[in-house]
């Protein structure tokens, strides 16, 4: 079974969709898929679906949802079910105190993403900008929207979806940093302008936008990006920009040589201007 959670939730068996439309069974299936090949306790499934107020019939109802999931798995298996000793029960396995979704070696995009992102972060820390950019780019290419975009997440799914979405922003930030180190500032300006517009309070993205604009010969636009950020922070949160952003702003005003690409730390360990 192949599983995709980096966007709308999808599961396929030999290319055949395993699709549930009912909200609560879909939550159960999504939680099992997120923890594929690991046992998920009944308690965790109950918490995800009903929170702290499960119905009296919770055990029976949960078993009904498991049956519904197995039915769609069986439909996707079709003739292949004959090759499995227990058909769909060999894919969604009952275990002591819980259930396990056996992917049987299928692809899970979240696991692939985490592995690629981990290599990218190591490369970034080691100053291997080309490798960091490559692995981060491959990780980001797996995304097709917000994590579990079409699932009504309960508490447990919400935590994991938030983790993945936050990780995506971190990986994006890291890929842009690597690309800046590689001198790709002109190519980055358009992307960063769009990101800054979508995330008007994100100081890290604005820092990168300001630096890319400056290195592209657009100092006045870099200063305007600072003014936009400062105004958004003041109006929305009543805050001033961080010391790092203010430091970068002063460097822009002074046309500091520290802003030039050649001033990047030779051994690869951070900082871009604005970090201390």
**CA atoms within 13 Å, Cβ hemisphere of 235:** 8
- 68 domain residue, yes or no: yes
pLDDT of the residue at 13: 92
Among 86, 81, 109, 64, smallest CA distance to 14 is for 81
pLDDT of the residue at 269: 47
Q: Is the pLDDT of residue 184 over 70?
A: yes
Residues 172/194/161/176 CA torsion (nearest 10 deg): 0
- 110 domain residue, yes or no: no
- 113 domain residue, yes or no: no
Q: Is the pLDDT of residue 265 over 70?
A: no
- 120 domain residue, yes or no: no
Other Cβ atoms within 10 Å of 231 Cβ, number: 11
- 223 domain residue, yes or no: yes
Which three-class secondary structure state does DSSP give residue 109? helix
Q: Which of 82, 101, 120 is the last residue of a domain?
A: 101
pLDDT digits (tens, 9 = 90+) for 104-146: 999 999 999 999 999 999 999 999 999 999 999 999 999 999 9
Query: Does an H or E element contain 81, and which?
Result: none
Average pLDDT along the chain: 93
pLDDT of the residue at 261: 82
- 125 domain residue, yes or no: no
Which three-class secondary structure state does DSSP give residue 39? strand
Q: Is the pLDDT of residue 81 over 80?
A: no
Q: Is the pLDDT of residue 275 over 70?
A: no
Evaluated on CA atoms 193, 195, 198, 204, the torsion sign reads negative
Average pLDDT over residues 208-222: 97
CA distance between the termini of the chain: 47
Q: How far is CA 152 from CA 24, 45, 101, 117, 255, in A?
A: 8, 14, 20, 26, 50
pLDDT of the residue at 82: 47
Average pLDDT over residues 214-235: 97
Domain housing 79: 2-101
Q: Is the pLDDT of residue 273 over 60?
A: no
The strand pair at 39-41 and 92-95 is best described as: unpaired
- 148 domain residue, yes or no: no
Residues with Cβ within 8 Å of residue 52, at least 6 apart in sequence: none
Structure tokens at 112: 């692939």
Q: Cα–Cα–Cα angle for 46, 104, 95, nearest 5°?
A: 35
Report the CATH number that the domain containing residue 75 is assigned in CATH.
Answer: 1.10.10.10
Q: Is the pLDDT of residue 239 over 80?
A: yes
pLDDT band at 77 (very low <50, low <70, confident <90, very high): confident
Which three-class secondary structure state does DSSP give residue 201? coil
pLDDT of the residue at 205: 97
Average pLDDT over residues 47-59: 94
pLDDT of the residue at 122: 98
Among 70, 99, 63, smallest CA distance to 86 is for 70
Report the CATH number that the domain containing residue 242 is assigned in CATH.
Answer: 1.25.40.10
Q: Which of 41, 70, 101 is the last residue of a domain?
A: 101
pLDDT of the residue at 14: 86
Dist. CA 257–CA 31, nearest whole Å: 51
Specify the number of domains making up the chain. Answer: 2
Among 206, 215, 204, smallest CA distance to 180 is for 215
Q: Is the pLDDT of residue 274 over 60?
A: no
pTM: 0.89
Q: Which of 67, 101, 135 is the last residue of a domain?
A: 101
271 or 68, which is more confident? 68
Q: Is the pLDDT of residue 83 over 70?
A: no
């Amino acid at each position: 079974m192949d599983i995709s959670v980096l966007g709308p939730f999808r599961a396929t068996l030999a290319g055949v969709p395993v699709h549930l439309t009912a909200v609560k069974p879909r939550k159960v299936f999504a939680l099992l898929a997120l923890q594929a090949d690991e046992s998920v306790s009944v308690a965790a499934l109950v918490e995800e679906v009903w929170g702290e107020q499960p119905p009296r019939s919770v055990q029976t109802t949960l078993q009904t949802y498991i049956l519904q999931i197995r039915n769609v798995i069986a439909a996707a298996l079709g003739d292949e079910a004959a090759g499995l000793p227990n058909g769909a029960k060999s894919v969604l396995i009952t275990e002591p105190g819980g259930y396990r979704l056996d992917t049987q070696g299928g692809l899970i995009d979240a696991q692939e993403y985490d592995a690629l992102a981990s290599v990218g972060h190591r490369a970034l820390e080691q100053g291997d900008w080309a490798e960091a950019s490559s692995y981060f780019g491959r990780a980001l290419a797996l995304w097709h929207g917000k994590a579990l975009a079409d699932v009504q997440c309960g508490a447990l799914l919400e935590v994991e979806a938030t983790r993945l979405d936050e990780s995506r922003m971190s990986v994006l930030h890291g890929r842009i940093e690597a690309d800046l180190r590689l001198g790709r500032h002109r190519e980055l300006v358009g992307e960063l302008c769009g990101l800054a517009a979508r995330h008007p309070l994100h100081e890290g993205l604005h820092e990168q936008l300001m630096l890319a604009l400056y290195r592209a010969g657009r100092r006045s636009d870099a200063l305007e990006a600072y003014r936009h950020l400062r105004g958004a922070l003041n109006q929305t949160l009543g805050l001033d920009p961080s010391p790092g952003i203010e430091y970068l702003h002063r460097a822009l005003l002074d046309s500091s040589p520290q802003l030039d690409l050649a001033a990047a730390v030779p051994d690869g360990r951070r900082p871009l201007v604005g970090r201390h």
